[in-house]
Amino acid sequence: MTNQQDMPSGAFKKEHAANYDDRWKPLAAITDALHLFSRSALTSLPDDAHILCAGVGTGADILAFAEAYPGWQFTGFDPSEDMLDVCRDRMDEAGLAGRYTLHQGYIDDLPPTAPFDGAVSFLVSHFITNAKKRAEFFRAIADRLSPGALYLTADLAADFNDPTFDDLMDIWLGTIAMAGMNAEGQANYRKMFRKEFAAHTPVEVEKMIEASGFNRPIQFYQGGLIRAWAAQKPESEPNRRFWRRL
């Protein structure tokens, strides 16, 4: 089973869900850039692609692609019904009714579907601190994809064994402070990092993705401690070029 329940308790419940988007708005430059590069990384997908959004939260993942790729359909899932409630409102406000389906639960709770052309999980897998369960999460996504499909994952990850780690964390916490996190919150964040989230180094994450049914991932973005990788499920047809249509 891949129903990892490693989230900090109380996370993504009603109040947190209602404030989630406003809370992180001051750091929008980081996620806007992530989404910009992500649109580029997925540009080779078909015009009528169906995208799986794992841990879709309040729908930022869908909004990142819906306008640029007007023929795409989205299936999102998330264990937090409260996040999904906010997501539904945002999707409808954005005029996306008919282009998305949402499911409450984990990936194993998804009903059978046709294989997806692409998948994203943004700021989700870093909550899975057990390496075996995290690899199972990646594997479960790979199992839902068609051959040649593309997968993007963005996660908090740092090499905490590197001597520069504490300095990097200082810079990151200074950035988060701009989103209103006070000194106590920052101290807690420092303690929780690696224990309650982001338990694996970037190299470990890459190895897990590759061992879970994908070709070698490419790190295509880094904003502070957030890194994003693109990986492709191996093709069944040799020489088919999925990355580029140009």
Binding site for ligand SAM (CB under 6 A): 4, 7, 12, 54-58, 60-61, 78-80, 83, 106, 122-124, 127-128
Could you tell me the smallest distance in angstroms from the CB atom of residue 222 to ligand SAM? Answer: 16
Output 144 or 148, the one with its CB closest to ligand SAM.
Answer: 144
Q: Nearest residue by C-beta to ligand SAM?
A: 57
Interatomic CA distance for residues 47 and 30, integer angstroms: 27
DSSP state of 3: -
Output 185 or 235, the one with its CB closest to ligand SAM.
Answer: 185
Output 73 or 125, the one with its CB closest to ligand SAM.
Answer: 125
Rg of the chain (C-alpha set): 17
Could you tell me the smallest distance in angstroms from the CB atom of residue 239 to ligand SAM? Answer: 34
What type of residue is 133?
K
The two structure tokens encoding residue 156:
């908090």
Output 123 or 231, the one with its CB closest to ligand SAM.
Answer: 123
Could you tell me the smallest distance in angstroms from the CB atom of residue 238 to ligand SAM? Answer: 33
- 123 CB-side CA count, 13 A: 17
Residue among 174, 195, 178, 107 nearest 144 (CA): 107
What type of residue is 106?
Y
DSSP state of 89: H
Residue among 217, 181, 227, 226 nearest 23 (CA): 181
Could you tell me the smallest distance in angstroms from the CB atom of residue 171 to ligand SAM? Answer: 20
Q: How large is the angle between the packed helices 14-24 and 81-93, nearest 10 degrees?
A: 50
Output 8 or 234, the one with its CB closest to ligand SAM.
Answer: 8
Could you tell me the smallest distance in angstroms from the CB atom of residue 191 to ligand SAM? Answer: 19
